[in-house]
Structure 1
Amino acid sequence: MLDLNIENTVKDLNEAEGIIDSNGVNSVTSNKAAINKKFWDQLYFKESLIKQKSRLKWVREGDSNSRFFHTSLKSRRRRNQLSFLKRGNEWIQGVENIKMEVKNYFVQNFTEDWHHRPFVHGIDFNVLSADDNDLLLQPFSEEDVREVIWSCDGNKSPGPDGFNFNFLKECWATVKVDVMEFLNEFYHNAVLPKAITASFLALIPKKDHPQQLSDYRPICLIDMLYKILSKLLATRLKNIMGKLISPCQSAFLPGRQILDGVVVLNEIIDLSKRRKDRCLFFKVDFERAYDTINWSYLERMMLKMGFAQKWMSWMRACVFHSSMSVLINGSPTEDFTVGKGLRQGDPLSPFLFLIAAEGLTGMVNKAVNIGKFVGYRVNDPLRYQILQFADDTILMGDCSWDNVRTMKSILRGFELVSGLKINFLKSKLYGINAADNFLVAASSYLGCNVESIPFKFLGLPVGANPRRQATWKPIVESAAKKLSCWNSRNLSIGGRVTLINSVLSSLPLYFFSFYKAPRCVINQLVRIQRNFLWGGGVEDKKLCWVKWSQVCLPKDKGGLG
């Protein structure tokens, strides 16, 4: 409509000029001036409209293909390039030498040297009913398979087959017959081709400037067909796991939250301080928890919990017969057979790990029942002796030598039966109202370090005072550290808004879900976001062109969301 109005105005202007040229009438001159003003007003309005649309596009698209993101991509590639490795005092260089070293390292890590481990006899675990087993063993329906596929992120890195789930979603009508045939054949025969259970092992740096292989976290990239199968089985397993796993374990299960254990532990610490109870807390550190689980132990735990033989045959095919190769700068090493451990990236692994960790819970509860270990008494019927979130484990109880000795015996025993190695050097001992000389002697006996409360559990400082600014220092420093990685000069206003919404605003949310932040901390975080938005750094003061309250409004109300 605007373009049509401009076109009509141009016609009127041409007609007025034609009249003046032919008649030379002065009275038409004023009319021409009015038409000319109307023409320029319409052009200015069109220019303003285009400018507003361009701003809206910036807000929506940000820096989707800007030099900032290309610079970040190149920088990340250089940073993650594995050009050398340190083994002891020796430096290893050259692609082939590094590949050989990496392969040998992981072959050793995934080879089980002890095949006949003892087992946790005499301990009772929850057992599946016949109805639960029937639910696990139902045939695979096309509706279930389609639901699993559409629940998967289509853009995640593919495995050795090179396909991601976007391909499967786009071509589902073409390939669904073959996929269902593969699943039905597995259902009846419990056999998988070697190519299906093969996986790539990607090395993700745990810290800046990694030098040794222990500085990397191995994540498995598994085959697309196997991931469909694994996700189907994991979905079924998830629905019945709540009947098997003790309430002290709060990971991965419906109705249980990550904050459950944090709330309980924080309340126990506050209660013990108020009542002046003498108690101990031992924070257990497992060394490469997923990678060291003994398959024989896991199989015997599942049989003890009443899993059907058909299900066990499926687990043997999926988990106990697999191979992998390690990706070095995008190129795989020679593949090797895996002899123990669970693959991080396999949908089944979290739930199988919970079954393995239940053995430790059973051993601790058995020690309590026979009077060898005394947990922390909240009231007469309620005691706590262990809290778990996957491999994050806290043992707690009375401050006594009997408890210290029993803790070490239980952990060493669990290490023997499960293959999960406890790293006592990284484990921590905490005490409330306990004598310093007792804590020093107990830590020497356990081979761990003594630290003070508050301490971090599942990323939150338990036993901390949220009114103190020091409690929030890690959050403020984390936001400042994020900014140091970004150069605001390379970002448009749209790119800065995107990063503030997706990163800076989400950093403190986990803390906010548990603690109420002081006003001074909120002001600090707002100042960091505001300075970054207007092109500054952490301490740089920049001129703010719009009030922060206006910036934070939704986009449909004139803000930036």
Structure 2
Amino acid sequence: MYVSLGKWHKKTFSAMNVRIKRFEDEIRKIDDMVSNGEYDGIVKARRKALVSSCEKSYVRKEIHWKHMSRSRYATDMDKNTRYFHSVASAIQRNNWIEALMINGRLVRNQTRIKIAIRSFYKKLYHQKDSPLIGFRDILMNRITEDEFAELERIPSCVEIKEAVWDCESTRAPRSDGYHMNFIKKCWDEIGEDFTTTVLSFFQSAKLPRDSNVAWAALAPKFIGATEIKDLRLISMVECVYKVVSKVLSRRMRRV
């Protein structure tokens, strides 16, 4: 299933702006009440709560634009400046698929483009029966018994935590809305449950259905790409799936 991340970001950002405007309007009303002499403990507490909520929304807005900018140089910056907006807007323009070559014709209808892309990848990743070919006896090098045992060992809690910290923190959120920075920041609260979930895969060889969901997006390899082969498929998987893959890749890297 291919989902437009642009629509998701736009919807999220729109809701964020509405929430900030509502906070600012309520603060302005309270300030008008204060100007007219209407001020007590309840009004004071209400204004304090609104200011706190508004400040948190400002921070979320900055983080949103930082993710949208996708720039390494924006990682350590702390202001919602024009730089973030210009980088994010430029990337969105470059990633927009305006036209696509379908059956030798340049098509600009977005519905037809979506159908063509979906059909292309459905055919490309269609599973086919393949003959079983044995290759074990012709391998030049083989892993040792100890390496074999190490690859199949149930991971420890420490190994899972190391895999979590080995994942990039500021990547775009997965389909569940969370990225790895959330897992790291809240490890004391959710680390035990998260570890249990990852371990359950290695014990049962099964993933919960909602953990095996990926958001897919197409990024043009260059500006003006018009053919499907010129589009790079990017899949964003959920945190549990990401950590399971990281544990396996870290082990295989040793051998």
Query: What is the TM-score when the length of structure 1 is the normalising length?
Result: 0.30
Out of 227, 231, 234, the residue aligned to residue 212 of structure 1 is: 227
In 2, distance between residues paired with 1:120 and 1:139? 27
Residue aligning to 2:107: 92
Residue aligning to 1:134: 149
Out of 195, 216, 231, the residue aligned to residue 210 of structure 2 is: 195
User: Are positions 1:175 and 2:190 aligned together?
Assistant: yes
Unmatched 5+ stretches in structure 2: 1-75
Shift of 1:68: 4.7
Asked if 2 retains the 8 angstrom alpha-carbon contact of 1:206 and 1:217, the reply is: yes
In 2, distance between residues paired with 1:104 and 1:210? 19
Out of 239, 245, 253, the residue aligned to residue 224 of structure 1 is: 239
Out of 154, 173, 177, the residue aligned to residue 162 of structure 1 is: 177
Aligned-residue RMSD, C-alpha: 2.5
In 1, distance between residues paired with 2:83 and 2:182? 29
Equivalent AA in structure 2 for residue 199 of structure 1: A
Residue aligning to 1:74: 89
Corresponding residue SS for 2:148: helix
In 2, distance between residues paired with 1:167 and 1:123? 46
In 2, distance between residues paired with 1:185 and 1:83? 44
Equivalent AA in structure 1 for residue 241 of structure 2: Y
Query: For residues 43-62 of structure 1, what are the structure 2 equivalents within 5 Å?
Result: none
Corresponding residue SS for 1:220: strand
Corresponding residue SS for 1:202: strand
In 2, distance between residues paired with 1:120 and 1:134? 21
Query: For residues 77-476 of structure 1, what are the structure 2 equivalents within 5 Å?
Result: 77-113=92-128, 115-116=130-131, 123-240=138-255
* Residues 189 and 76 of structure 1, relative CA distance in 2, 3 Å threshold: closer
Count the aligned residue pairs: 180
Equivalent AA in structure 2 for residue 227 of structure 1: K
- Could you give the per-residue CA deviations for residues 167-193 of structure 1, whole angstroms, max 9, x where no partner exists? 101111121222122123222211112
In 2, distance between residues paired with 1:180 and 1:63? 32
In 2, distance between residues paired with 1:179 and 1:97? 41
* Residues 68 and 192 of structure 1, relative CA distance in 2, 3 Å threshold: closer
- Could you give the per-residue CA deviations for residues 247-286 of structure 1, whole angstroms, max 9, x where no partner exists? xxxxxxxxxxxxxxxxxxxxxxxxxxxxxxxxxxxxxxxx
- Could you give the per-residue CA deviations for residues 332-386 of structure 1, whole angstroms, max 9, x where no partner exists? xxxxxxxxxxxxxxxxxxxxxxxxxxxxxxxxxxxxxxxxxxxxxxxxxxxxxxx
In 2, distance between residues paired with 1:202 and 1:183? 26
Query: For residues 530-549 of structure 1, what are the structure 2 equivalents within 5 Å?
Result: none
Shift of 1:226: 0.7
* Residues 81 and 147 of structure 1, relative CA distance in 2, 3 Å threshold: same
In 2, distance between residues paired with 1:79 and 1:152? 27
Query: What is the TM-score when the length of structure 2 is the normalising length?
Result: 0.62
In 1, distance between residues paired with 2:153 and 2:105? 54
In 2, distance between residues paired with 1:139 and 1:121? 25
In 1, distance between residues paired with 2:179 and 2:112? 31
The answer to which structure has the higher helix fraction is 2
Asked if 1 retains the 8 angstrom alpha-carbon contact of 2:99 and 2:106, the reply is: yes
In 2, distance between residues paired with 1:121 and 1:69? 53
Shift of 1:118: 5.1
Q: Larger radius of gyration, structure 1 or 2?
A: 1
Residue aligning to 2:60: none
Shift of 1:239: 1.1
Shift of 1:103: 0.9
Shift of 1:120: 5.0
Larger relative contact order (Cα-Cα within 8 Å, sequence gap ≥ 6): 2
